[in-house]
């Protein structure tokens, strides 16, 4: 599900543990990058970041996987692939998981759990919607300034939270829309 916080969670983990690895790369919007620039663009981004070489170019999928196999495989890497939607593209992109050095971590965010299953992912973590209390707190943090009270908006808050169904992005957007407005404007 979009807007649930997969990218935000993956980014927080990446920031927290990336210092433990020899090479790191967080590739955002894999699906979009594939549509615009293709697999070659993704390979160049991945390899150049991990090897810390600017403007690295790869000829084709085979040479990219060969570079990974020969230069990156000895490194303990942390790679985040954000918003992946097709396992066949994933296989063409990173090849086999054992190409990377011992202790490497590849985190994949996707809206389609089947993509992970087909690729043979060993650990799958499903990000759940926020509970009612957390959803109300997030909505209030976006809708009301710190000194402003919720007074008179209680029913609207509960309607917005119910409408958003615990999806953080929806709560943030709805709360931001309400921020600074009075009841007459809604």
Query: Is residue 99, in this structure, part of any structural domain at all?
Result: yes
Residue 20 pLDDT > 90: yes
- Domain final residue, candidates 95, 119, 143: 119
Same domain, 109 and 46: yes
Same domain, 64 and 144: no
Same domain, 153 and 114: no
- Domain final residue, candidates 119, 151, 167: 119
Distance (Å, rounded) from C-alpha 181 to C-alpha 97?
51
Query: Is residue 127, in this structure, part of any structural domain at all?
Result: no
Same domain, 103 and 143: no
Same domain, 52 and 140: no
Classified as helix, coil or strand, 25 is strand
pLDDT level of residue 149 (50, 70, 90 thresholds): low
Residue 19 pLDDT > 60: yes
Tell me, what's the pLDDT at 183?
Answer: 63
- Reading the block at residue 119, the tokens are 């690729």
Rounded to an integer, the average pLDDT of 123-135 is: 90
- Reading the block at residue 60, the tokens are 């084709």
Residue 38 pLDDT > 60: yes
Same domain, 51 and 142: no
Same domain, 11 and 91: yes
Running DSSP on this structure, what letter comes out for residue 69? I
How close are the terminal C-alpha atoms of the chain, in Å? 28
Same domain, 167 and 102: no
Rounded to an integer, the average pLDDT of 98-118 is: 83
Same domain, 62 and 23: yes
Same domain, 102 and 163: no
Distance (Å, rounded) from C-alpha 41 to C-alpha 57?
9
- Domain final residue, candidates 67, 85, 119: 119
Q: Which residue has the higher pLDDT, 158 or 15?
A: 15
Residue 51 pLDDT > 90: no
Exposure of 61 by Cβ count < 10 A (0-12 exposed, 13-18 middle, 19+ buried)?
Answer: middle
Query: Is residue 149, in this structure, part of any structural domain at all?
Result: yes
Tens of pLDDT along 72-89? 777 888 989 898 887 556
Residue 171: domain span? 132-179
Query: Is residue 125, in this structure, part of any structural domain at all?
Result: no
Same domain, 46 and 93: yes
Query: Is residue 31, in this structure, part of any structural domain at all?
Result: yes
Other C-beta atoms lying within 10 Å of the C-beta of residue 50: 23
Same domain, 95 and 149: no
**Among 102, 85, 167, which residue's Cα sits nearest to residue 131?**
167
Are the C-beta atoms of 107 and 52 separated by less than 8 Å?
A: no
The rounded mean pLDDT for the chain is: 81
Are the C-beta atoms of 51 and 72 separated by less than 8 Å?
A: yes
Domain count, the chain: 2
Query: Is residue 74, in this structure, part of any structural domain at all?
Result: yes
Query: Is residue 76, in this structure, part of any structural domain at all?
Result: yes
């Amino acid at each position: 599900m979009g807007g649930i916080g997969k990218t935000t969670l993956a980014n927080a983990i990446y920031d927290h543990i990336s210092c433990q690895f020899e090479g790191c790369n967080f590739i955002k919007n894999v699906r979009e990058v594939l549509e615009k620039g293709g697999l070659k663009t993704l390979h160049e981004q991945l390899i150049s970041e991990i090897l810390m070489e600017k403007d690295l170019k790869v000829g084709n999928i085979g040479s990219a996987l060969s570079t990974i196999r020969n230069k990156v495989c000895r490194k303990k890497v942390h790679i985040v692939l954000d918003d992946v939607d097709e396992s066949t593209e994933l296989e063409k992109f990173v090849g086999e998981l054992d190409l990377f050095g011992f202790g490497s971590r590849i985190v994949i965010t996707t809206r389609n759990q089947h993509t992970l299953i087909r690729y043979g992912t060993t650990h799958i973590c499903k990000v759940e919607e926020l509970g009612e209390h957390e959803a109300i707190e997030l909505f209030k943090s976006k809708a009301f300034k710190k000194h402003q009270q919720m007074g008179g908006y209680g029913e609207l808050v509960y309607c917005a939270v119910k409408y958003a169904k615990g999806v953080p992005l929806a709560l943030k957007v709805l709360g931001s829309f309400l921020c600074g407005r009075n009841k007459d404007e809604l």
